[in-house]
Amino acid sequence: MKLNELSDNEGASHRPKRIGRGPGSGKGKTGGRGIKGQKSRSGVAIKGYEGGQMPLYQRLPKRGFNKPNRKEYAVVNLGLIQKFIDAGKLGSEITETELVDSGLIRRKRDGVRLLAKGELTTKAAITVTGASKGAIEAVEKAGGSVTLSAPAAAATE
């Protein structure tokens, strides 16, 4: 059997009904929308409307405050850094740009934050925007060092 010999079962697919193509089509004139009213017209946005009842999205409680310009950091775990060092993708001097170039993170965003998940066994000098206390301790325990740099967004302003 070849790909060009594949076909659907008989009757499994049928052409869709063509709407608004004259009285002979069975869906002519009003196109199956009935007569008059909001739903017969184009551009109807009625999904959130519940017939005068308070809509669900308004009944649910809203909590907290969503800061529109909050900082978003790219997160890196120690275990992943160790994995990339073992694979030879990272050296002993690790910066944010090297993390991006190696493919460990996709983009820096507002900076890179180092977290302590996993274990680091290789001595490495890491320069990042932020790091957790546990991550700093783990890197220093392995004989390396963590240098915290100024956030990338603040440096460009």
CA-closest candidate to residue 96, choices 72, 117, 75: 75
Structural domains of the chain, ranges and CATH numbers in brackets: 74-156 (3.100.10.10)
Q: What is the pLDDT of residues 88-129, one digit of tens each?
A: 888 888 899 999 999 999 998 899 999 999 888 889 899 999
Q: Please state the length of the chain.
A: 157
Burial of 49 (C-beta count, 10 Å sphere; 0-12/13-18/19+): exposed
Q: Please tell me the distance from the alpha carbon of residue 84 to that of residue 124, in angstroms, as a whole number.
A: 12
Distant-in-sequence contacts of 147-150, Cβ < 8 A, 24+ apart = 149/96, 149/111
Residue 131 to residues 47, 134, 138, 139: CA-CA distances in angstroms? 45, 8, 11, 11
Contact 73, 130 (CB under 8 A): yes
The token pair at 53 is 């009842």
Q: Please tell me the distance from the alpha carbon of residue 72 to that of residue 143, in angstroms, as a whole number.
A: 29
pLDDT of the chain, 157 residues: tens digit per residue: 899 999 999 999 988 989 989 998 889 899 888 899 888 888 776 777 888 899 888 999 999 998 999 999 999 999 999 999 998 888 888 899 999 999 999 998 899 999 999 888 889 899 999 999 999 999 999 898 889 987 654 444 4
What b-and-e string marks burial along 105-122, b requiring 16 or more CB atoms within 10 Å of the CB?
beebbbbbbbbbeeebee
